[in-house]
Structure 1
Amino acid sequence: MLKKNTVLFFLVFIFLYECFLCSVKSIELDDITRTVQLDDSGEQVVLTAKQIYRGKRLFNNSCAQCHNGGITKTNPNVGLDLETLSLATPSRDSVLNLVDYMKDPTDYDGQYYIFERHPSIKSANIFPKMRNLTDEDLFAIAGHILVQAKTDSTRWGGGKIYY
């Protein structure tokens, strides 16, 4: 009985934390923090708190298994920090470029398509979590990645030292 109560308490705690503290954190972000690069032209977009929270939830559900904390478990040399994203070919440091990557991924140098190894919309038959993601969902996930890279720049993509 005690074990059941402990598990129940833990689940309620996690639920309340996610509902109240995480959403408050994203709401408290100012416009400058929520502003990210939209595309390669330098155009920027200000994300809403709702988009950032939704992106976080979708990222945790669809991407965090391999990219927890902005790392890449299959290749620790390639993280989701802004510097690494900007040095990829094509660069992935903008919302639309990340959306394009999530639809049809290529390797870091942009030479080979890797949709059979990396979850994407193109490989949704192999990776079921990608099946129901809309363009709006991908936009929110990309926004979350870029905002995390700005707000948690030391830890995001930092690897084992932090996670």
Structure 2
Amino acid sequence: MASSFPSAALRKAVRVLARTMLALLLFMGFGSPALAAAWTTEQLTVPATPDGTLVTFSEQEIKAGRKVFNSSCGECHAGGITKTNQNVGLDPETLALATPSRDSVEALVDYMKNPTSYDGEYSIADVHPSMRSSDIFVKMRDLDDDDLRLMAGYILVSPKVQGIQWGGGKIYF
């Protein structure tokens, strides 16, 4: 009988190594206490309103925002990208150039309630999940204003946290 390549033993070793590396990555970076301890108040402070008023989120709020974001928006916006339009991400520069600007908590919450095209010319509520279209997009039905605020905080804080390449890289917390 001919031997298979790669061998069963080699495939098993690769699986064990992959699991070990994943566990190490999870321990070292994803949600590690060391990274959380490195967060500063400055990193957790973002614009609350378009006029520049600031708000500081707690680590717990950012983690809660990440959880809501991942379950509601993460399918299309994992890592701050936009799968349906690679030219428009969730990075601060792109959000600031939208019309109206979407680089504050208030502006992002407004978008999650009534999304518009990047140039602000027309509503996209029929194709983008929002509170306005929760009858179509069921993931939005159970969200309230606080959930939207937490998601906005997570979106805006993510690129400021060390190790984040929001809009094209991996998230490490």
Instruction: Specify the TM-score bucket, using the shorter chain as the normaliser.
Output: 0.7 to 0.9
Who is 2:120 aligned against? 110
Bigger Cα Rg: 2
Q: Does the alignment pair 1:31 with 2:41? A: yes
Q: TM-score, normalised by structure 1?
A: 0.82
The 3-state SS of whatever aligns with 1:22 is coil
- Three-state SS of the structure 2 residue aligned to 1:114 is coil
- 1:152 is displaced (CA, Å) by 5.7
Seq. identity, %: 49
Query: How many residues are treated as equivalent by the alignment?
Result: 148
Structure-2-length-normalised TM-score: 0.77
1:55 to 1:26, Cα distance in 2 relative to 1, 3 A: farther
Q: Is contact 1:36–1:94 with CA below 8 Å preserved after alignment? A: yes
Distance 1:111 1:152, change over 3 A: farther
In the alignment, is the contact (CA less than 8 A) between 1:69 and 1:157 conserved in 2?
A: yes
- The one-letter code of the counterpart of 2:156 is L
Q: Which residues of structure 2 form unaligned runs of 5+?
A: 1-14
Q: Structure 1: give runs of 5+ residues left out of the alignment.
A: 1-5
CA distance in 2, matches of 1:152, 1:91: 25
Amino acid at match of 2:68: L
Q: Whose helix fraction is larger, Structure 1's or Structure 2's?
A: 1
CA contact (8 A) 2:76 2:84 kept: yes
Describe how 1:46-125 pairs up with structure 2 within 5 A: 46-125=56-135
Dislocated runs of 4+, deviation >6 Å: none
Please provide the CA RMSD for this pair.
2.4
